[in-house]
Amino acid sequence: MRAFTYERARDAGAAARAVAANSAAKFIAGGTNLLDLMKIEVETPTHLVDVQDLGFDKIEATRDGGLRIGALVTNTNLAADERVRRDYGVLTRAIVAGASGQLRNKASTAGNLLQRTRCPYFYDTNMACNKRKPGSGCAAIGGYSRQLGVIGVSDSCIATFPGDMAVAMRVLDAVVETVDATGQRRSIPIANFHRLWGDKPEQDTVLKQGELITAVTLPKPLGGKHFYEKVRDRASYAYALVSVAAVIQPDGTGRVAFGGVAPRPWRVEAADALLPRGAAAVTARAFQGATPTKDNAFKLPLATRALASVLAEAKA
Amino acid sequence: MPETSELELSRRGVLTAGAATAALVATPISAAPMPVAPSAPAPAMPVRFKVNGERRELSLDPRTTLLDALREHLHLTGTKKGCDHGQCGACTVMVDGVRINSCLSLAVMHEGDEITTIEGLGTPDKLHPMQAAFVKHDGYQCGYCTPGQICSAVAVLDEIKRGVPSHVQGDLMTKPTATNVEMRERMSGNICRCGAYSNIAEAMAEVAGAKA
């Protein structure tokens, strides 16, 4: 691990200013992804600003009947919150489908959104990777791509966003709240939070240097039945090959987002509208224009089958 | 003793980390963002926490993980370093009552925290019920993952008691119970390459049953 200096911020403004002032500085909350990457020197911050004391560790009701989840609420506490289990089951289900108990106890809500791809070529510093080293090329293209993206990818990068929690948040139309070094606040719909790679795969999200996530808000509950179906190589503690987050209403309408397939949780609202017509109609629309590799083309039929399983359960 | 000299060496390395980079912490806020790189290890930082009920004070390179602080600086070598990347669970300890991977956490981030390691759960003369159950049910072979397994197992039963949900839970509004399926799912962050899983599950079931 490269050397770095460390400070524990007292308030959000000071934290944002400290990171904005140094392009090699980073916030640290749970640290479960950042420290992992620092050990292999994929991440090499020279200064860490610890945000654990900023008080963003509460889940509060909003005036319009939703929830405001503090950026530092741990994955475990978010999944276990009674209001979340009752009204946003898809979110609890997605969180507990990811990582391990130990990691969920430490990982934060904001950190989960900011976790980086698990593309093996991103992790291997001997390999070309435009995300890790802009302009160096992409060894994943033409390489071992079974786990990688099938849609929304580019000629520069075919990595996926690896998380589960954000896929449920996409179905719920969550909003990411931030503050920057000047005190300016932003509300970013989760649909726009993660970038498609294009020719800048090094930039995962729309956040600026020093822009700090303070909370994620959920609109009022949708009702309906909530599902998170995750297909992976092991029964537990593995990244998704494909995952399906869905909220299905009694009349068969609903919303669906897919994980493990794209640079961001993948939801196409026009495909949601096809839910009453069945899984194949939905995935045909949601994955229109997909560019799978030979190794990961199986993800397309897998997504259809995973959704079909969810829809069958919704009817049961 | 090779082990002792290694420990001394790493402590000396930390203590000699120079103060040459101290000035780099202060960066003008108004300036355009520039990467600021410490050219040498950052100065050691003080950290105080409680380990197994005892107050400890250390001066550490900020890079020191909680795992390395416990093993290399406090010589509590019960907690093991397996993968050092949060994948195997050998480093599992409890911080303020919840289990975490001590390898993926910086020691300096634990100022004021209460840490419990395998050494704090029980002693050879007075085993924790989970330790006794692991012995009784042969919940290990080589034993390297065992401290992490036991810390995790104790925490898992507490998580079930507190109603923390899991992936295998049916109704999210019903309190989970310590079934075999629940315990196996919740223990998936602890890898045992000898494959003592079924005996670990039996040890946990005994402790869970005794508690019920």
Q: Residue type for A83, please? A: R
CB A185 within 8 A of CB A178: yes
What letter does residue B31 receive in the DSSP assignment?
S
Q: How many residues does chain B have?
A: 212
CB B139 within 8 A of CB B76: no
Mean pLDDT across chain A? 98
How many degrees, rounded to 5, is the angle at CA A75 between CA A103 and CA A108? 80
What are the structure tokens assigned to A137, written together? 């090329």
Q: What is the pLDDT of residue A314?
A: 98
Chain A residue nearest residue B92, CA to CA: A102
Nearest CB partner across the interface for A236, out of B100, B152, B185: B185
- Give the burial class of B210: count Cβ atoms within 10 A of its Cβ; 0-12 exposed, 13-18 middle, 19 or more buried: exposed
CA distances in angstroms from B108 to A17, A175, A212, B90, B104, listed in the order given: 21, 32, 21, 21, 12
Across B152-179, b (16+ Cβ under 10 Å) vs e yields: bbbbbbebbeeebbbbbbeebeeebebe
Q: What is the pLDDT of residues A212-270, one digit of tens each?
A: 999 999 999 999 999 999 999 999 999 999 999 999 999 999 999 999 999 999 999 99
Q: What is the pLDDT of residue A19?
A: 98
d(CA A102, CA A291): 36
Q: Is the pTM of this model over 0.80?
A: yes
Contacts of residue B6, defined as CB under 8 A and 6 or more positions apart, other chains included, come to none
Would you give per-residue pLDDT tens digits along chain B (212 residues)?
Answer: 344 444 444 443 443 333 333 333 333 444 456 676 666 888 999 999 999 999 999 999 999 999 999 999 999 999 999 999 999 999 999 999 999 999 999 999 999 999 999 999 999 999 999 999 999 999 999 999 999 999 999 999 999 999 999 999 999 999 999 999 999 999 999 999 999 999 999 999 999 996 54
Contacts of residue A182, defined as CB under 8 A and 6 or more positions apart, other chains included, come to none
What letter does residue B23 receive in the DSSP assignment?
G
**Is B33 at the interface with chain A, CB within 8 A?**
yes
Min Cα separation A45/chain B (Å): 8
Contacts of residue A312, defined as CB under 8 A and 6 or more positions apart, other chains included, come to none
Residue A283: in which H helix or E strand, if any?
A: helix A279-286
Chain B residue nearest residue A230, CA to CA: B167
Contacts of residue A69, defined as CB under 8 A and 6 or more positions apart, other chains included, come to A59, A78, A109, A215, A216, A217, A218
d(CA B21, CA B6): 26
Contact residues on chain B for A96, CB-CB shorter than 8 A: 165-167, 169
**Is B114 at the interface with chain A, CB within 8 A?**
no
Contact residues on chain A for B186, CB-CB shorter than 8 A: 101
A155: confidence class by pLDDT, cuts 50, 70, 90:
very high
Nearest CB partner across the interface for B156, out of A8, A101, A237: A101
Chain B residue nearest residue A49, CA to CA: B109
Q: What is the pLDDT of residue B16?
A: 38
> Mean pLDDT throughout A200-222?
98
Contact residues on chain A for B105, CB-CB shorter than 8 A: 31-32, 35, 106
β strands within A139-286, DSSP E: 175-179, 185-189, 212-218, 225-231, 242-248, 254-259
Min Cα separation A51/chain B (Å): 10
pLDDT at residue A145 is higher than 80: yes
Return the closest-CA partner of residue B108 out of A74, A192, A48.
A48
Give the number of beta-carbon pairs within 8 Å between A and B: 149
Q: What percent of chain A has pLDDT over 70?
A: 100
> Mean pLDDT throughout A42-48?
97
- Give the burial class of B70: count Cβ atoms within 10 A of its Cβ; 0-12 exposed, 13-18 middle, 19 or more buried: buried
Q: Which of residues 50-69 of B touch A (CB under 8 A)?
A: 61-63, 65
ipTM over 0.85: yes
DSSP string across B134-192: HHHHT--SS-SSHHHHHHHHHHHHHHHHTT---TT-S-TTSPP---HHHHHHHTTTS--
What are the structure tokens assigned to B6, written together? 């290694």
